[in-house]
Amino acid sequence: MKLPAYWMTRPAPPPDRRTSASFDRLLEQALANGPDEPIDYRLEAPKWQFLCHAADRGRLLLHGSGDPAISRFEPRQPDDSSEFGNRRAVFAAGDGLWPMYYAILDRARHPMSLINGCARLANGSERLGEPHYYFSISAQALKQQPWRPGTVYLLPADTFELQPRMRVGDVSVQPAQWASPVPVTPAAKLAVQPEDFPFLDQIRGHDDERVWARAAADPDGFPWHEEA
């Protein structure tokens, strides 16, 4: 089974061994330095590849924000329609690309609704498929190009719980969302610019009222995609 074509995959193959080794060295140095200063990123490989590498190692989760100076993440109650997301918690992603979307969206200056997700195909085996992504914001906000510089925080995964598997249409998927019921202190952070996000030009625009109507009629129909 496959997800619909509007779900996107990572835009390049995994980094080669030499690049992965460079990522490992930078990551270990960043964790040793701590979160007070952003990672001094000077590698040729794009930042999103480094963040995906950090997440794929399994010991860290990532959180994107426009605030560059968060020293402690406190649990909060989001406005989320899903059972897992409708809880007071610190939320993070087991993926490097997804949190970049949150980091670069200027929601303070541009009110918008978000429809987004990152999930891997669950084919009944322990090994999951490659990550798939969906990114959309309110169409009126998209017209304003509501981008900003942001920060992706690397968080220790110890206190987090993984969202259970779910179905998207006829496909079983494993979402990349995790939640911690207790405060979390970041281990490191990386500054990002809108142009660092490889899906910037693929962020879709949706009509809020139509999406709400579709969601009310079919609560399990995420992401309630509608072709233009």
Residues 172-193: tens digit of each pLDDT: 889 999 999 999 999 999 999 9
**Domain residue ranges in the chain:** 9-217
Compute the distance between CA of residue 84 and CA of residue 107 in angstroms, rounded to an integer.
Answer: 23
Residue 125: its pLDDT value, please? 61
> Is the confidence at residue 226, as pLDDT, over 80?
no
Q: Find the range with the poorest average confidence among 39-48, 137-146, 208-217.
A: 208-217
Contact 111, 141 (CB under 8 A): yes
Residue 176: its pLDDT value, please? 95
What phi and psi, each to the nearest 5 degrees, are found at residue 100?
A: -65, -35
Compute the distance between CA of residue 133 and CA of residue 195 in angstroms, rounded to an integer.
Answer: 18
Residue 228: its pLDDT value, please? 56
Residue 90: its pLDDT value, please? 98
pLDDT tens by residue, 78-120: 777 677 867 899 999 999 999 999 999 999 999 999 999 999 9
Contact 192, 100 (CB under 8 A): yes
Mean pLDDT over 64-82 rounds to: 90
Residue 87: its pLDDT value, please? 86
- DSSP per position, 70-108: -S-BPPB----SSTTTSSSBEEEESSSSHHHHHHHB-TT
Residue 46: its pLDDT value, please? 97
Specify the higher pLDDT residue, 32 or 216. Answer: 32
What average pLDDT is seen over the chain?
92
Percent of the chain with pLDDT over 70: 95
pLDDT tens by residue, 134-178: 999 999 999 999 999 999 999 999 999 999 988 777 778 899 999
Residue 168: its pLDDT value, please? 73
